[in-house]
A and B are shown apart, each in its own frame.
Chain A
Amino acid sequence: MIELHLIILAIVVSFGFVFSYLAMKERDLLKALALSSVQSTFFALGFYILAAPDIVLAYLAIAVGAYTALVILAINKTERYEVGE
């Protein structure tokens, strides 16, 4: 009943979930960005297992490349460390 690709999907998406949580808790914005792109890579693998290659192509390029670069440029214009509370 349980198929192998569903188990792999669950594992991959759980890893993505863990990394998105770590990215939210990280105070250093550049480290948070790196964690967020690791999360995107896991989600892209998930999309591949779900047989959506079009989404994989767009998602990898946008989430790992373009989004990261835009946020690095934005961090460059403010400060690297998140302060608060």
Chain B
Amino acid sequence: MKKDVFVALSLLTAFLFISYAVTVRDVLGIAENPLRPLGEFYLSHAFAHEGLTSHSPEVVTAIVWNYRGFDTLFETFVFFLAIMGALSVLRLTREQGMEVRALEAREPHRHMDTITRTTTKLVVVMIVSISASIALHGHLTPGGGFQAGSAMAVATLLLFAAFSKFTLERQGLTLRHTISAYALGLAIILATVIAPVLLYGGKVLEIDLLPGETGLFNLDVGEYTAVTFGFLTVFLALGVPEWIFKLVLRREVK
């Protein structure tokens, strides 16, 4: 225990010393050169009336989806691969899925008490409205599709915790629906990326190809849908109780 404290304190001292040297004494020379030419280009062009502009006062979103659009597109594909990997590891056949649903329906109906449920309802409404404002204003104020989508997924997780997963599944939030909505989000992104190339010519994700700020707005909305329902897909797939999953899989082995 004494050794642990010693290790922690020495690491903390080293960290404070390094941060003091970098920020206050400026040993790396970061403060002398505050804005590099590339940064200056982004700041002067992101919200201009001519040239390579993306009509967005939010420079971060402009960089994420326009100037560095390919990075974000491939990030979306990586997220897609992660979700497909999780789904294929936790896959069930049609009969097994029906069996799991029958077993889950027999589980005792559990949810939290009235105070928690009412508070959760209020908080969820607030989180959903905030996430919508983050996504739909993503090209004007800080935020964007990914941030809003993860906030929305958290709101649904609160519902999972307070009302149980089975209640939500009975209300219609099933794996099939979340996967369909996820595909819809990806379709919006792909349409925004490919449609202007077919319509106007030019390159994929070329800057200033779509009129005004529609490009950034569409991409934010697509990413919002994709991230929300992508996370929900994983949570629903992982949320099957372990004993039911084992029971079904053991039957497969026999």
A residues whose Cβ falls under 8 Å from a Cβ of B? 1-2, 6, 10, 13-14, 17-18, 21, 25, 53-54, 57-58, 61-62, 64-66, 69-70, 73-74, 76-77
- Residues of B contacting A58 in the complex (Cβ-Cβ under 8 angstroms): 146-147, 150
The residue in chain A whose Cβ has the minimal distance to the Cβ of B5 is A21
Option from B134, B234, B238 in Cβ contact (under 8 Å) with A57? B134
**From residue B154, how far is it (CB to closest CB) to chain A in Å?**
3
Q: Kindly state the separation between the CA atoms of A34 and B14 in the bound complex, as whole angstroms.
A: 26
Interchain residue pairs A-B with the least CB separation, the first 9: A65-B154, A61-B150, A53-B142, A57-B147, A58-B147, A73-B238, A61-B151, A69-B157, A54-B60
**A54 and B147 contact, CB distance less than 8 A:** yes
The residue in chain B whose Cβ has the minimal distance to the Cβ of A58 is B147
A10-B16, A14-B15 known; A73 vs B239 contact (CB < 8 Å): yes
Cβ of B199 within 8 Å of any chain A Cβ, yes or no, is no
- Residues of B contacting A14 in the complex (Cβ-Cβ under 8 angstroms): 12, 15-16
Cβ of B235 within 8 Å of any chain A Cβ, yes or no, is yes
**B8 and A61 contact, CB distance less than 8 A:** no
Interface string of B143-160 (1 = CB under 8 A from A): 110111011011001001
The residue in chain B whose Cβ has the minimal distance to the Cβ of A22 is B8
Q: Kindly state the separation between the CA atoms of A6 and B239 in the bound complex, as whole angstroms.
A: 43
Cβ of B103 within 8 Å of any chain A Cβ, yes or no, is no
A18-B8, A61-B151, A77-B242 known; A70 vs B134 contact (CB < 8 Å): no
- Residues of B contacting A2 in the complex (Cβ-Cβ under 8 angstroms): 24
Q: Kindly state the separation between the CA atoms of A17 and B8 in the bound complex, as whole angstroms.
A: 9
Q: Kindly state the separation between the CA atoms of A61 and B224 in the bound complex, as whole angstroms.
A: 13
The residue in chain A whose Cβ has the minimal distance to the Cβ of B144 is A54
**Can you identify 11 A-B contacts, CB atoms within 8 angstroms?**
A6-B23, A10-B16, A13-B15, A14-B12, A21-B11, A25-B4, A58-B147, A66-B150, A70-B234, A70-B235, A73-B235
Cβ of B182 within 8 Å of any chain A Cβ, yes or no, is no
**A54 and B4 contact, CB distance less than 8 A:** no
The residue in chain B whose Cβ has the minimal distance to the Cβ of A14 is B12
Count B-side interface residues using an 8 Å CB cutoff. Answer: 31
**From residue A44, how far is it (CB to closest CB) to chain B in Å?**
12
Those of B12-27 within 8 Å (CB) of chain A: 12, 15-16, 19-20, 23-24
Those of B128-150 within 8 Å (CB) of chain A: 134, 142-144, 146-148, 150
Option from A66, A73, A77 in Cβ contact (under 8 Å) with B154? A66
**From residue A35, how far is it (CB to closest CB) to chain B in Å?**
13
**B8 and A10 contact, CB distance less than 8 A:** no
Q: Kindly state the separation between the CA atoms of A57 and B144 in the bound complex, as whole angstroms.
A: 9
**From residue A14, how far is it (CB to closest CB) to chain B in Å?**
6
- Residues of B contacting A65 in the complex (Cβ-Cβ under 8 angstroms): 150-151, 153-154, 157
Cβ of B231 within 8 Å of any chain A Cβ, yes or no, is yes
**A61 and B19 contact, CB distance less than 8 A:** no
Q: Kindly state the separation between the CA atoms of A66 and B154 in the bound complex, as whole angstroms.
A: 6
**From residue A62, how far is it (CB to closest CB) to chain B in Å?**
5
Q: Kindly state the separation between the CA atoms of A19 and B235 in the bound complex, as whole angstroms.
A: 27
- Residues of B contacting A66 in the complex (Cβ-Cβ under 8 angstroms): 150, 153-154, 157, 231
The residue in chain A whose Cβ has the minimal distance to the Cβ of B60 is A54
**B15 and A57 contact, CB distance less than 8 A:** no
